[in-house]
Structure 1
Amino acid sequence: MKRSRIALVIVVLVLLAGGWALYHGLSKPKAKPPSLGDPVTAVAVKLMDVPVYIDALGTVTPTRSVTVVSQVSGILASVEFKEGQRVSKGQVVARIDDRALKAQLAQAKGVLAHDQAVLVNAQRDLARFRQLIKVGSVSQQTLDTQAATVQEQLGTVAADDGAVQNLQVLVSYCTIASPVEGIVGLRLVDPGNFVAAGSTTGIAVITQMNPATVVFAVPEDDLGAIDQAMAKGPVDVLAYDRNKHNLLASGTLLALDNQVDTTTGTVRVKGQFNDAGNALFPNQFVNARLKADTLQQVAVVPTLAIQHGSKGDFVFVVQGSKASLRPIKSGPASGDLTAVLENGVKVGEQVITEGADKLDDGSPVKVVSQ
């Protein structure tokens, strides 16, 4: 009995010792495996030609915008266009009631015919007097008076002819033709209304859409670059939408203004777009890009790889299994790539594009994709 109690005590002590060892074994922290580096994505540096653009907000301006006005006063008889219609140069767009003017023209022609007949009769009398004076049948005074009568009648006929021509012009003004090829705007006067000659309101506005032009302002500091570009040949100008996503039209630089705006320090520039079609609309705001230069075969990196710090821009370059911080001077961008100036990186080096926000100079990294 005494021995069984001793054996029981020994068993209990063994169980307690095992439990204590097990408890402390589970609670002891396990050793971490050595770090393999943060996973990152890297892209190789490459060479390419990078265009240098000057960006500015521009306004589409039509080549010509003409207000169609009547040159004679009268009732607007008809409007021969549809709003928004494309018309050609010389196409009839409106007519003024010309009946009164045609009546005046007929009267003027009658007066002209009468005075021409009087002139012919006076010229015949002058011819007879010149023959009669040779035989003494008429006096010199009579001959001179008849000669003056002929000259007077010549003046009357000339005045009559001028009146006829003037009325013919006025009658022609009753048929109003488009002075340009373009798009007709909304009708400003309805048929049946009286229109006055030279009215500033007009009947409609016709806008010449092709070629379209875009006017924008560039900083005066860019004038040197623009002059150098113009010296090499035509300068490309691109027109994008407000979001700078969609290219609307491609054109060329047409002209620079002749002075700097002292209040803004900018110079107005005009680009011409010959094949814009309906992509550019008058008074539309667009983002203009003027191609000032092209950097030949420069190192480029993804724009995502460029970090910005207090001391300037930098990238992380993969060197072995570590990230090396490399200061750079960023240049112009082309799509998703940015040029690196002054040899900040070398062709073929791997720059980190994803995962760089957690890195320091010398951090261990593991490239998971390229």
Structure 2
Amino acid sequence: MMANPGWKQATRLTACVVMSIALAALPSGCTKESARALSGQGAGKKGASGPQPVLAAVSERKDIPIEIRAVGTVEAYSTVQVKAQVGGLLMRVHFKEGQHVPKGAPLFSIDPRPFQAALHEREAQAASAKVEASNAEVELQRAASIFKKNIISREEYDRARTTAESKAAAAVAAAAAIENARLLLEYCEIRSPIDGRTGNLEVHEGNVVKANADTPMVTINQVEPIYVTFAVPEIQMPAIRRAMAQTPRLPVRVTITGEEDEPVSGTLAFLDNAISRETGTIRLKAEFENHERRLWPGLFVNVTLTLGRRENVVTIPSQAVQIGQDGSYVYVIRNDQTVESRPVVTGPLVGNDMVVEQGLAAGERVVTDGHLRLSPGAKVEIKKSL
């Protein structure tokens, strides 16, 4: 049967139209190779696209620190709530809110006049008691002299002795009352018990303050030195204790958000004596000198506790490690510029370096970028950037 020439011409015209529409639909960024692939050119030619561009790095041996990371909270080294020990009119406040005050610096002055008067009264009472005690002692000596001559009875002598002892005790009590009055007078001047920074002032000049009121007059926080408190999982406790047995004051550094390039260094000062039942963590405290006062009570910081160092371990950039169904693996570049998918056992991450416990030797090249285009046996070309 002879084919219709008109039908063949129509078929070729239709194919051309379809191909033109398909090529027109390609994005402007498509390559000529994409167009040829769509038109069927080069089909079946393995590796027609050439070596795949990748970034690579060489595994190397390093000494790395053994670290535990956590989020911590800055706490004052010491906090004192200042309260009046005597009541009275607040005459003067000697500081401004937020001011740093040294230990012993005056903070408040309470009207001392009532306490000065009380002291004078106690001094007068003590002088009178002293005179009475002296007279009673003289009477006792006289009574003892005439008692020996049997001029007075035993009862009268005992009475004189009792009176002398009572007057002597009253004189001692009067002297103690003087000391108490002086102490109350000293309490009118309230001084800072620590070096620290004052907080919000709760009472102002002209107010009457009460002794041992519920609300403190001001709170002082000692910030030099200062603590950072943080918690770590209980599973980390054995490693921490082993490290503390070698170095009791383990190094700790913290970074503040926005100032990651300027860490603050300190030492571990405290390991709590119990693990929290609610969280399964144990609380630790690190101490920092804080001379620059960058750490402030209540601030959240990133904490790094260093337990020691591991020497001569194999490391690679962390981005070289991929996660598959069977675990972690890396693409190793062989001498013929083809890649091998190799499973690895990874250790801790230190900065950007991932420790490789098994599966990789020092000096091997691994792919760090361009993994999505690779498969085992693919040929690659190492680039400086993609």
Q: Please report the TM-score for the alignment, with normalisation by the length of structure 1.
A: 0.86
Name the amino acid aligned to 2:126. Answer: L
Q: Deviations over 1:317-365 (max 9, x none)?
A: 21122122122222222222211112x2221111122222211111111
Match of residue 167, structure 2, among 145, 149, 153: 153
Q: Tell me, in whole angstroms, the C-alpha distance in 2 between the residues paired with 1:55 and 1:318.
A: 33
Q: CA 1:164/1:148 → structure 2, altered by over 3 Å: closer, same or farther?
A: same
Q: CA 1:276/1:349 → structure 2, altered by over 3 Å: closer, same or farther?
A: farther
* 1:341 aligned onto 2:357: yes
- Identify the residue that residue 254 of structure 1 maps to in structure 2: 269
Larger deviation, residues 56-65 vs 125-134: 125-134
For structure 2, the 5+ residue unaligned runs are: 1-35
CA contact (8 A) 2:223 2:290 kept: no
Q: Tell me, in whole angstroms, the C-alpha distance in 2 between the residues paired with 1:215 and 1:61.
A: 7
Match of residue 280, structure 1, among 295, 313, 321: 295
Q: Deviations over 1:119-174 (max 9, x none)?
A: 21222222233334445554444333222211111121122112111111111111
Q: Tell me, in whole angstroms, the C-alpha distance in 2 between the residues paired with 1:55 and 1:228.
A: 17
CA contact (8 A) 2:93 2:108 kept: yes
* 1:180 aligned onto 2:198: no
Match of residue 140, structure 2, among 119, 126, 141: 126
Q: CA 1:243/1:218 → structure 2, altered by over 3 Å: closer, same or farther?
A: farther
Name the amino acid aligned to 2:189. Answer: T
Larger deviation, residues 97-106 vs 293-302: 293-302
Q: SS of 2:224's equivalent?
A: coil
- Identify the residue that residue 70 of structure 1 maps to in structure 2: 84
- Identify the residue that residue 47 of structure 1 maps to in structure 2: 61
Q: SS of 1:151's equivalent?
A: helix
Question: CA shift at 1:293, angstroms?
Answer: 3.8
* 1:330 aligned onto 2:346: yes
Larger deviation, residues 350-359 vs 139-148: 139-148
Q: Tell me, in whole angstroms, the C-alpha distance in 2 between the residues paired with 1:29 and 1:127.
A: 138
Q: Tell me, in whole angstroms, the C-alpha distance in 2 between the residues paired with 1:195 and 1:277.
A: 36
Question: CA shift at 1:29, angstroms?
Answer: 8.9
Q: Deviations over 1:79-122 (max 9, x none)?
A: 11121111121221111111001101101111111111122122
- Identify the residue that residue 16 of structure 1 maps to in structure 2: none
Question: CA shift at 1:185, angstroms?
Answer: 1.0
Q: Deviations over 1:212-239 (max 9, x none)?
A: 1111111111111111111111322221
CA contact (8 A) 1:220 1:267 kept: yes
Q: CA 1:92/1:274 → structure 2, altered by over 3 Å: closer, same or farther?
A: same
- Identify the residue that residue 73 of structure 2 maps to in structure 1: 59
* 1:265 aligned onto 2:275: no
Q: Deviations over 1:253-304 (max 9, x none)?
A: 2222222212211111222223464121112111222223422111111122
Name the amino acid aligned to 1:90. Answer: G
Q: Tell me, in whole angstroms, the C-alpha distance in 2 between the residues paired with 1:53 and 1:271.
A: 15
Q: CA 1:205/1:295 → structure 2, altered by over 3 Å: closer, same or farther?
A: same
CA contact (8 A) 1:250 1:276 kept: no
Q: Please report the TM-score for the alignment, with normalisation by the length of structure 2.
A: 0.83
Name the amino acid aligned to 2:331. Answer: F
* Larger radius of gyration between Structure 1 and Structure 2: 1
CA contact (8 A) 1:56 1:216 kept: yes
- Identify the residue that residue 207 of structure 1 maps to in structure 2: 221
Name the amino acid aligned to 1:333. Answer: L
Counterpart mapping for 1:19-30 below 5 A:
none
For structure 1, the 5+ residue unaligned runs are: 1-26
Counterpart mapping for 1:168-247 below 5 A:
168-233=182-247, 234-242=249-257, 245-247=260-262
- Identify the residue that residue 108 of structure 2 maps to in structure 1: 94
Question: CA shift at 1:41, angstroms?
Answer: 2.0
Q: CA 1:169/1:29 → structure 2, altered by over 3 Å: closer, same or farther?
A: closer
Q: Tell me, in whole angstroms, the C-alpha distance in 2 between the residues paired with 1:29 and 1:215.
A: 67
Counterpart mapping for 1:76-115 below 5 A:
76-115=90-129
Q: CA 1:87/1:124 → structure 2, altered by over 3 Å: closer, same or farther?
A: same
* 1:314 aligned onto 2:320: no
- Identify the residue that residue 117 of structure 1 maps to in structure 2: 131
Q: Tell me, in whole angstroms, the C-alpha distance in 1 between the residues paired with 2:67 and 2:345.
A: 17
* 1:38 aligned onto 2:52: yes
